[in-house]
Amino acid sequence: MSDRPRRLRRTAALRDLCAETYISPDSLVQPHFALAQQDGEQPIDSLAGIARMGIDPLLRRVEADLELGIRNVLLFGVTKDKDPEGRTGERQDGPAHQAVRALKQRFADDVTVMADVCLCTYTDHGHCGLLKDGDVDNDPSLERLAAQSVSLAEAGADVIAPSDMMDGRVHAIRAGLDQSGFESRAIMSYAAKYASNFYGPFREAADSAPKDAGPKDRKGYQMDFRNRNEAVREALLDQQEGADILMVKPALAYLDIIADVAAAVERPVAAYLVSGEYAAVELLAREGLADRGELVREHFTAVRRAGASILITYHARAALENGWLNNR
């Protein structure tokens, strides 16, 4: 059974996350970059104030964020242990799995743990699927994505978030989760993920840029930013295949897409305010060209106004620390 509305009612945090409300702490998701080590932090030069973290600093950070009201996190594993098939992404000793397990052991259902699913961070070629004859091979990639999803559910992830943009991956992941006894785990698909120029800082942070093998970019599977109607097609396909939340990425340059998807689907819509958008705000503020809080509040409001009920943003913590959501 692919259509189970109760998945999003399973915990209080999930119910608050998907409530149809205005901007509130419950609607914010803070991304984190996890390392497979107990301690230590690695500041990310292109993302001021953001760091790759070992387990202990991650737990401290999430605990402090929880006190602010941030109950939702999105995890990305970062590793140098790479291979052509991205098998580290399936291992319980991998960075994302260790982080998921530690967070659920510490915070249980007080924190909704979302786990990104993709191969790019774990493959030595940096692409989101397996390579064959110099191109990304869609259907064999589905098995690896489903296996990674099941392994993250085994670690305790509440929400599986496939970002790869392979055709049919939501169906494969839903089937894998259900067959493994994880019918209650939700899927948040990156339904309309564009081949954007705003991803640069993230690719540095996660060491996930395409390498020499395979295509030079991801335009063969991520969406063409000239296309609008195709986003609705992608979102409806993911909904049909069993996605519980549908994401548009990036956000600010794609407000029309957010509005279109929100009008077309019967699921909560998330928008990812991506690393390049975060970096642009930080640069404007650092140069004294705009007020940081006002920029963030305007950004959040525009995305929410367009129809997104869930905002994934590196600014979640700063917004609550500084009271920007309540600033009038």
3-state SS record for 204-219: HHHCCCCCCCCCCCCC
- For the chain, percent of residues with pLDDT exceeding 70: 98
At 328 the pLDDT is 47
At 208 the pLDDT is 77
**CATH of segment(s) 5-326:** 3.20.20.70
Taking 60 as the threshold, does the pLDDT of residue 290 lie above it? yes
Catalytically annotated residues: 193, 249
Domain boundaries, the chain: 5-326
Taking 80 as the threshold, does the pLDDT of residue 10 lie above it? yes
Taking 90 as the threshold, does the pLDDT of residue 216 lie above it? no
Which whole number is the average pLDDT over 12-35? 86
| Higher-scoring residue by pLDDT: 254, 220 | 254
- Cβ of 212: how many Cβ atoms within 10 Å? 8
Which whole number is the average pLDDT over 303-327? 92
**Tokens (6 digits) for 307:** 């129809």
Phi, psi values for residue 115, rounded to 5°: -120, 120
At 20 the pLDDT is 59
Which whole number is the average pLDDT over 291-297? 94
